[in-house]
């Protein structure tokens, strides 16, 4: 009998809210989390804006000693996991911990630690570098820390696929449960790369928005004036669970995961394929796995980064797959509000899809003011809409041509 996979717990740390209630309320009203960077002096930087997480107090989630031994990206991951665990109602004493795993997506890892300790090394020498440098810096310790926290002894690893990292991680967790390697899996991802070196690097690539004086509208996916993405930080964790396992313990169910697609453009280091071949095949693979018709997709949470190439070619991929129906689908880029969490983006966007299924609310694409003739679909401009949604699709596309799409379905016990 085919194993079905459902979502039974959610936790999120985002630039527009901490916790699922605060996060989705902000999405609904079109709240922007973009502002001037406060974590370092941006004098001389072309881009001076970001989606920083506000009001995150590590002491709300960890002992001070524990917090000091985790990079910020790892703190976001573990805090999100603790929220998801509480939300799920799982009794750890009643599960098989050898079939409980952790698979997270992280694009760049502990860059806050790397940059700060590099400064220590340069100023004070090698003996003053913290002995916690390596475990704080390496990305797999986000998954490892969650495994340690909850005593989970199943598969435990991190997927690194640039901006597709978290969506790949969720897809891999889905397959682990379907293939009977896990009954439960904590999945999602996190990122915290609002650092001088990272912002300088993306700035040198001219990938970031430089609308510093009008930061509230700087993240403007699909708008003709878009000029680059706005870097952001945060994380999200979803608990995926085998359906009968969830039913047996009386879990609440946010939705069912039914499809996963992945591909590579094999075209360019940073630009998507001009015919959107990889994104097209990725979306189609997810639909095929879900065993549905394209016309059954009600909502797409677009990758929608607010970069000229990405938004145009994602639009093309959607048209390639859906044909005339593409204009009827409700689409939004929640990055217009959160900014781009890089490896953590897919996690909070998957959470948004789950909440859309439950709330019947399509969040808007804010800052959509001037139509780009090459981006001519229904991007839910500026105001949420109410709609009964049965299937949602979430896209994530990353540097290296790495593409990932996942599909969630409204849960029905049949």
Cβ(389)–Cβ(360) under 8 Å?
yes
Among 229, 405, 204, CA closest to 334:
229
Cβ(163)–Cβ(403) under 8 Å?
no
Cα separation, 255 vs 369, whole angstroms: 33
Beta bridge partners of 229: 208
- Quickly count: other Cβ atoms within 10 Å of residue 308's Cβ: 15
Beta bridge partners of 49: 36
3-state secondary structure 200-222: HHHHHCCCECCCHHHHHHCCCCC
Buried b (16+ CB within 10 A) or exposed e, 227-244: bbbbbbbbbbbbbbbbbe
Alpha-carbon distance values, 152 to 89, 93, 96, 100 (Å): 16, 11, 9, 5
Give me the catalytic one of 163, 182, 353, 375: 163
Give me the catalytic one of 340, 353, 354, 375: 340
* Ramachandran assignment for 39, one of left (phi > 0), alpha (psi -120 to 50 degrees), beta (any other): alpha
Cβ(397)–Cβ(279) under 8 Å?
yes
Give me the catalytic one of 245, 282, 303, 375: 303
Cα separation, 26 vs 302, whole angstroms: 18
Helices then strands, counting H and E runs in the chain, come out as 13, 15
Active site residue 340: yes
Active site residue 303: yes
Cβ(53)–Cβ(233) under 8 Å?
yes
- Quickly count: other Cβ atoms within 10 Å of residue 248's Cβ: 10
Q: Where are the alpha helices (DSSP H) in 55-110?
A: 64-68, 72-88
Buried b (16+ CB within 10 A) or exposed e, 336-350: bbbbbbbbbbbbbbb
Q: Which residues are catalytic?
A: 163, 303, 340
């Amino acid at each position: 009998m085919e194993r079905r996979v459902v979502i039974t717990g959610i936790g999120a740390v985002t630039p527009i809210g901490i916790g699922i209630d605060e996060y989705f309320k902000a999405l609904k009203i079109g709240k922007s989390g973009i502002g001037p960077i406060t974590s370092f002096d941006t004098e001389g930087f072309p881009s001076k804006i970001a989606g920083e997480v506000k009001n995150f107090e590590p002491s709300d989630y960890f002992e001070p000693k524990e917090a000091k031994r985790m990079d910020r990206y790892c703190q976001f991951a573990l805090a999100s996991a603790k929220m998801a665990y509480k939300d799920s109602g799982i009794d750890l004493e009643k599960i098989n911990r050898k079939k409980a795993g952790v698979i997270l997506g992280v694009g760049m890892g502990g860059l806050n630690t790397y940059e700060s300790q590099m400064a220590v090394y340069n100023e004070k020498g090698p003996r003053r570098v913290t002995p916690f440098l390596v475990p704080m810096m390496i990305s797999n310790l986000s998954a490892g820390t969650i495994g340690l926290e909850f005593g989970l002894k199943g598969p435990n690893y991190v997927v690194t696929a640039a901006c597709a990292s978290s969506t790949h991680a969720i897809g891999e967790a889905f397959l682990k449960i379907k293939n009977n390697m896990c009954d439960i899996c904590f999945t999602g991802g996190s990122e915290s790369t609002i650092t001088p070196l990272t912002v300088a690097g993306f700035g040198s690539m001219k990938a970031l928005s430089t609308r510093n004086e009008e930061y509230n509208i700087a993240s403007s996916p699909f708008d003709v004036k878009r000029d680059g993405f706005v870097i952001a930080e945060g994380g999200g964790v979803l608990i995926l669970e085998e359906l009968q396992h969830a039913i047996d313990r009386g879990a609440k169910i946010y939705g069912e995961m039914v499809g996963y697609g992945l591909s590579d453009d094999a075209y360019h280091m940073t630009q998507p394929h001009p015919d959107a071949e990889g994104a097209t095949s990725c979306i189609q693979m997810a639909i095929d796995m879900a065993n549905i018709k394209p016309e059954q997709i009600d909502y797409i949470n677009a990758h929608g980064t607010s970069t000229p190439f990405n938004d145009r070619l994602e639009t093309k991929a959607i048209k390639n797959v859906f044909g005339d129906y593409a204009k009827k689908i409700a689409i939004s880029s929640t990055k217009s509000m959160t900014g781009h969490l890089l490896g953590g983006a897919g996690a909070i966007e998957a959470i948004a899809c789950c909440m859309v299924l439950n709330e019947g609310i399509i969040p808007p694409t804010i800052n959509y003011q001037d139509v780009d003739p090459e981006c001519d679909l229904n991007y839910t401009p500026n105001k949420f809409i109410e709609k009964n949604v049965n299937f949602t699709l979430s896209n994530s596309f990353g540097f290296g041509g790495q593409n990932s799409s996942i599909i969630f379905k409204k849960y029905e016990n049949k």
